[in-house]
Structure formats: C-alpha cells, structure tokens
Structure 1
Amino acid sequence: MSLPVLVALVTVGIALSVLAVHFTGGSKIATLAGADQALSRFADDFPDEKASAVRLTADGRTAFLDLGPARSGIVHSVGDCFLTRIVTPHDIKAIDLDEDGAFSLKLADLTWKGGRFAFADKADAKAVAAAFGPHNPSQAKEAA
C-alpha cells in the first residue's frame, strides 16, 4: 500500500472516530437544572454537609453552596460529569470580583485550579466571594 493511501485511510479513520464520539454524547457539557440538583449531587460526595444557600452561575455549570463560616461547597461541570469540592480560605490563592457580576477564583488544588464564574445577579457574585472569607491570600493565611 502506498504512503498517500495509508495517510488518507488513517485521516478518515480518526475523523470518523471523533464524529462517533461527538454524536454519541461524548462532547456533551453537563449543566445543573437548579439548586435541588446541585444539592443532590453535592450530597452524593458529602452526605453529612448541609448547605444554607445555593447560588448558580448564569450558565448553570457551577453551583456554590454556603456550608457555614468560612466553608463553601462547589459543584462544577467537567465534560458530562460534575466535580465537587469543599473550599476554605486556606485553599484559595486569589479571588477577583469584577463589576460585571462575575468573579475569578484561583485554588491551590492540583486537580482543579478554579476559574471565572459569571452570575446573572451581581449580588450573588458578591455573596459567593464573601462566603470564601478574606480576598487577600495573606489575610487568608492569618485567618487560618
């Protein structure tokens, strides 16, 4: 078999594999239908934790749960699954709240570094940022 024919066959095979994964749901992004689904998903991993408030991002991919003083729960979609975390001020590298109703969160976690989260209501963004405690990493170390 000639090299050009082999390259063409491999290229077509890879393209068909990618399309098959996409059309069978492999590229689907999970979203949270509401606060109840976020609470249920969080309870799967942390059954003893009780949240007093749940705030969803505008895109429905992330929920922040208030777990009490200086503790927050996070349910975040990664592909078609959800990851869950309990975050304290000690876990936070930086928080940046902007005027658009969004904030950026940087975590010291090796498996998930955080991200930028936009809320439909600016008050939700402020409440979530406040729930994480001090916004300055040096203050977070002092509080710990």
Structure 2
Amino acid sequence: MSLPILVAMVVVGIAAVVAAVHLSGGSARARLSGADQALQRFATDFPDVTANAVFLTEDGDTAFLQLDNGAVGIVHGLGDKFLTRIVSSADVADVTARDDRIVSLRLRDFTWKGGDFRFADGEAAGAVMAAVSGKSDAYGAREKA
C-alpha cells in the first residue's frame, strides 16, 4: 500500500472517530438551568451541608452557594459533568474583581485552580467576592435557597 493512501485512511479514520464522539453527545457541556438544579447537584455530593443563597454565573457554568458553616460551595460544569467543591477562605490563593461583574478566583487546590466568573450584575459578584474572601457579613444575598 502506498504512503499517501495510508495517510488518507488514517486522517479519514480519525475524523470519523471525532465525528462519532461529537454526534453521540461527547462534546456536550454541562450547564445549570437555575438555582434549584445547583442546590440539587450540590446536595448529591454533600447531603449534610445546607446552603442559604445561590449565585449563578451569567453563562450558567458555575454556581456559588453560601453555606451555613461560613464556607462556599461551588458547582462548576466541567465537560459534560459537574465538579463540586466546598471552599473556605484558607483554600483561596487569590480573589480579585476584574470589573464590577467579573470575579477572578484562584484556589490552592491543584485539581482545579479556579477561573474567571462573570455574573449578571455587580451585586452578585460582590457577594461572591465577600464569601470566598471570608467576609460573609458583607453578603447581599439576592437569591435565597
């Protein structure tokens, strides 16, 4: 068999596998439809922890939950699954506001370093900043659980 035909067969084979994975839902992204879904997903992994308020990002990828114990619960879409974490202020390496609606969060956890999160308004972003930095008395909880 000639080399050009072999190369063409490999390229077509790889393209077919990628297309099959995509068409079977392998490239679907997990999104939160609302506060109720975020609470339900969080309760699946942490059934003994109670949340007081939920703050969803604008794109529905992430929810931050104000917890009774003063920590923050995070439900984050990662691929087609959800990652859940309980984060205290000791777990936070850095938290800054890039503008009034974007919170940049960096965690000390090597398995998930955090990211930049855009909220619908500055009030939600400020509440999340206060929660993850350990200033829970500054909460302006909008969306009660």
Return the TM-score normalized by structure 1: 0.90
In structure 2, distance between residues paired with 1:45 and 1:60 = 19
Deviation of 1:3 (Å)? 1.1
1:52 aligned counterpart, secondary structure: strand
Measured against aligned partners, the alpha-carbon deviations of 1:5-40 in whole angstroms (never above 9, x if no partner) come to: 111100000001101111111111110010000000
Alignment of 1:81-96 (within 5 A): 81-96=81-96
Partner of 1:140: none
Partner of 2:141: none
Partner of 2:20: 20
Deviation of 1:104 (Å)? 0.5
Partner of 1:64: 64
Runs of 4+ aligned residues of structure 1 deviating over 6 Å after TM superposition are: none
Return the TM-score normalized by structure 2: 0.89
Q: Which amino acid aligns with 2:13?
A: G
Instruction: Extract unaligned runs of 5+ from structure 2.
Output: 136-145
1:25 aligned counterpart, secondary structure: coil
Instruction: Extract unaligned runs of 5+ from structure 1.
Output: 136-144
In structure 1, distance between residues paired with 2:32 and 2:43 = 14
Identity %: 58
Partner of 1:98: 98
Residues 69, 131 of structure 1: 8 Å contact kept? no
2:36 aligned counterpart, secondary structure: helix
Q: RMSD between aligned alpha carbons?
A: 1.3
Q: Which amino acid aligns with 1:127?
A: A
Q: Which amino acid aligns with 1:55?
A: F
